[in-house]
Structure formats: C-alpha cells, structure tokens
Amino acid sequence: MRPLTPFAARAALAALAALAALSTVTACGAADDGGDPKGKKGGEATVTVRIPDPGNAGVLARGKKDGSLDKALAAVGAKVAWTGSAGPFAPAAQAMNADQLDIATGSITSGITSLAQSPGFAFFTATDPDPVGEGILVREGSDITSVRDLVGRKVAVNKGGTGEYLLLKALAKAGIPADKVERVYLRPDQTAAVFNAGQVDAWAVWSTYAVAEIGSGKAHFVADGTAIGSDNYSLNAVRSEFAKEHPEIVKALYDYLHEHSAEEKKDPAAYLNVFTDAGPTAVNGKAKEVQIDFTAKGGTVDPIGPEDIERFETVARFYADQKVTPTKVDIAAHLLDVEKLS
C-alpha cells in the first residue's frame, strides 16, 4: 500500500504553512481546553495529536467525516488537530523534528533519507510494498517497452524518495549501470506537466500521481512494483517524544488504522471522494477504476515484524551502495513495536 490514503501526497508548502500556524499547541501536544494552557478539562488532560489533513480519500478522511477517529482517540484522552494537507515525507519529518507535527506517513525510501539527517521520529506501522500502483511510467506510444530501453533516456524522479529508488532498483535488476540513465530531479507535484510535454522520457512514480496519468489513457507502467522487486513499504511515523509521553495514543491510532485499512481494501470505493465527488481532489471515471484496483491489490496497516525489518535493511544497504545516503542508515534503531505499547 502507498501512503495511507490513495491520494495522500499534497502540496508540502501548504502543509508546512499550516503547521507553522499551530503556535497555540504546546510542545507536549496538550490541547488548550476551556482556556487552560495545560489542556485540563474535568481534571484530566486532553492531548492533541497533530496529523496532516487527509484530504478527500482514505481511512483518515473517512474517519474525519464520520467521527469514528474522534471517538477512537477520545477513548484514550486525545483529539486531532488537522495541520493542513499531507505532503511528501521529507518536510513532514522536518516538522516532527521541529515539534510542529506528531504523526506522518511516508515510504521507507524517503524515511531512510530523512533518518540520515537528525531524526526526531520513529516508525510504528508497516504496509507492504505496492505491487501494482508504483513503477516506471511511460507515455502511450512510447518506444520504451522495457527497462533496458531507458538507457540514454531522461527519467523524472523525486530525489532520495520513492521515484529515485524505483528507478535505481529497476536498473540494478536489469543489470544496467545507474549512470546510463539521466535522473531528472523534480518535485512529484510538478512532474506531470513536464512528463506530458515530453521533456522527460519516463517517470518513476507511485499511485498518488500515477492514477491520473493511467486513468487518462495517456500513460502506462513499463514496469510496476512487482516487476521491479520493490521493497518500498509505506510507514507511519510518530514524533519520538510524543511516543514516549503518550504510547497509549499511538497504540489506539494504530488499532484504528489497522482495522479500517482492512475495510478499505475490501471496499475501496467507499473511501474515495469522501467529502466531494467534484473538483481537483475528486477521482472519477477511468481514474477511479484504476484507484479501486490499486487499493484492492495493496496492503493493510500492520505492526512492523522481523521480516519487514529485514527488507528495510535491504533498502538501507541499497541506498548506501547507490550513494543516495553517505553511509548505511541504522533504521532498526528508529522502529517501535506497536503491539507492546500501552
């Protein structure tokens, strides 16, 4: 599965602007209830969990609309403060490090590059790599019919994240030196226009952006996650201090995500167009069919197990070997066993 919602990635700048506006939220995440700066209400503290707004699709969007997430968190003395739109993991990681955000979703690939900095967060869930919703996208009519045809071409990727990983992994599997393909570093939300204008020959991308391109009938994957052999898990991260102070809230959030991601997988359509079926955040027509298919074949939010950690380590070694990170990141040091939290 990709990030928790089918359309999790949104504009990072908007997200950070909204995060910065949360100046009334205290460092420990306590809400200001009834004018009490410690969030005291009825003798008990209500803890605010700062989470990027999920937009119009996915488990959190539906939970926001129907009140089920509020109910689940209220049971452990917490409530949500939505902090703008979800975006790429790198700025979200920076926001957690700066105590402006408590929860975020991202890929293991972008997670590793963020951990190579000065991390103030840990991962507490794992969702299996997307078998069909990520890959190397080419335009219809392209003469690129295999990964080997990428030699000498330009491929758009997001630096250090899913896109760069997918391209490097595909090339390595095909036995092609990485320097035989030109990587064009672009922000994902700026790449569609460049791709459709023919300024790059392919785009290494995930479902958040691939659905619209494939749904338009103008593009297709020349290699998907299965063909590439991707280990690109989707993960949920929590600010380290928040996890130490409020483990019961992290556990409650995990329980909610686990249960409802399983329901989403069974009935993907029920988690699309949650607030509106029109406008730029809605998905309709062929694109909706594509998204439903991707979600149905994706994974669910689960605890991080030993087999997951082994695959995380494989990605960390690969990134070090490919010089994406200067050294191998010790990802195991930044993982939580959510089943032991209480």
DSSP track, 266-305: H-GGGGSSSS-SSSTT---HHHHHHHHHHHHTS---B---
Q: Are residue 224 and residue 236 in the same domain, yes or no? A: no
Question: What's the pLDDT at 52?
Answer: 95
Is 248:342 a contact under the CB 8 Å cutoff?
Answer: yes
Domain that residue 193 falls in = 135-228
Range 289-302 average pLDDT: 97
Question: What's the pLDDT at 117?
Answer: 83
Q: 84: pLDDT confidence band, cut at 50, 70 and 90?
A: confident
Range 99-125 average pLDDT: 93
Question: What's the pLDDT at 118?
Answer: 75
Question: What's the pLDDT at 44?
Answer: 66
Q: For residue 251, is it within any domain?
A: yes
What is the rounded CA–CA span in Å between residue 156 and residue 205? 8
Q: For residue 34, is it within any domain?
A: no
Q: For residue 333, is it within any domain?
A: yes
Q: For residue 264, is it within any domain?
A: yes
Q: For residue 35, is it within any domain?
A: no
| β-pair partners for 82 | 51
Reported as half-sphere exposure (CB side, CA atoms, 13 A), residue 153 has a value of: 26
CATH of the domain at 79: 3.40.190.10
How many structural domains compose the chain? 2
pLDDT tops 90 at residue 32? no
Give pTM, 2 decimals. 0.85
The CA angle 133-86-17, to the nearest 5 degrees, is 150
Domain boundary among 228, 246, 264: 228
Q: 253: pLDDT confidence band, cut at 50, 70 and 90?
A: very high
Domain boundary among 179, 194, 228: 228
Query: Rounded mean pLDDT of the chain?
Result: 88
Q: What are phi and psi of 103, to 5 degrees?
A: -135, 140
Q: For residue 33, is it within any domain?
A: no
Question: What's the pLDDT at 3?
Answer: 43
Q: What is the dihedral of CA 243, 127, 291, 223, to 10 degrees?
A: 130
pLDDT tops 90 at residue 209? yes
Q: Are residue 287 and residue 309 in the same domain, yes or no? A: yes
Residue with tokens 């600010």: 239
Q: Are residue 209 and residue 322 in the same domain, yes or no? A: no
CA-based nearest residue to 136, from 144, 127, 128: 144
Range 100-117 average pLDDT: 94
Q: For residue 37, is it within any domain?
A: no
Predicted confidence (pLDDT) per residue in 227-242, tens digit: 999 999 999 999 999 9
> Lowest-confidence range among 16-30, 56-70, 320-334?
16-30
Q: For residue 259, is it within any domain?
A: yes
Q: Are residue 110 and residue 237 in the same domain, yes or no? A: yes
